[in-house]
Structure 1
């Protein structure tokens, strides 16, 4: 019997935040597609990306209604996409604290991006 094939891994890096919202839709949409194709998919938020994970911002956007980022973010989580946020970007570039981040996102150091990149079969940067 042949050894079971290991799932391919896709890494998607999000560098834009709410100030450039149109550039945040594709990474989360693509992560949902990747996960639905049964690839092991991870999204890494850095630079201004952590602002998208702010509990208050997401609550505000949910109250306003149809925000494609929120819709794609929820779809990605529902599809099992792993979410990571760079703690250095969170604190130094976005002036946020760990407690500001929505649930379901793992706080990691910048070195995790290197590990994820080397482990991924393909990486996409947005």
Structure 2
């Protein structure tokens, strides 16, 4: 990328949670790839997605080992992917508190999704 050239932005939206784990691997894998390709990448968790960010759930999955979501989540964070969670989904749909969310995830309102979407060059919804 040449000096002064603006990085393209990719937004990935995660709507599924642990109840449908197979549908959670690809979003974080794609986010990791985009970030490694030097795209400015963000992931927005909503609907059932916030359950994937539960500290207790992630700790349990890390102890068990072998969960591809955890691997791709860590890879995305290591690649500099910005993570956001919708506070309305967190509380109203997932019945979680803000203190339940793993470190490194910004808790935001639903309007942030609209801002991210209009700012993104491309968006992927899972």
How many pairs are equivalent? 125
Which residue in 2 is equivalent to 1:84?
84
Match of 1:63 in 2: 63
Q: What is residue 110 of structure 2 aligned with on the other side?
A: 110
What does 1:9-88 align with in structure 2 at a 5 Å threshold? 9-88=9-88
Aligned to 1:123: 123
Give RMSD over aligned pairs.
0.9
Residues 11-62 of structure 1: per-residue CA shift (max 9 Å, x gap): 0000000000000000000000000000000000000000000000000000
Find the residue that maps to 2:11 and give its secondary structure. strand
TM-score relative to the length of structure 1 = 0.98
Point out 4+ residue stretches in structure 1 off by more than 4 angstroms: none
Provide the rounded CA distance (Å) in 1 between the counterparts of 2:4 and 2:113.
Answer: 27
Gaps of 5+ in 2: none
1:49-106 C-alpha deviation (Å, 9 max, x unpaired)? 0000000000000000110000000000000000000000000000000000000000
When normalised by structure 2's length, the TM-score is 0.98
Structure 1 residue 3 displacement after superposition = 6.2
**Paired residue secondary structure (1:42):** strand
Cα offset, 1:4, TM superposition: 1.2
After TM superposition, give the deviation of residue 7 of structure 1 in Å: 0.1
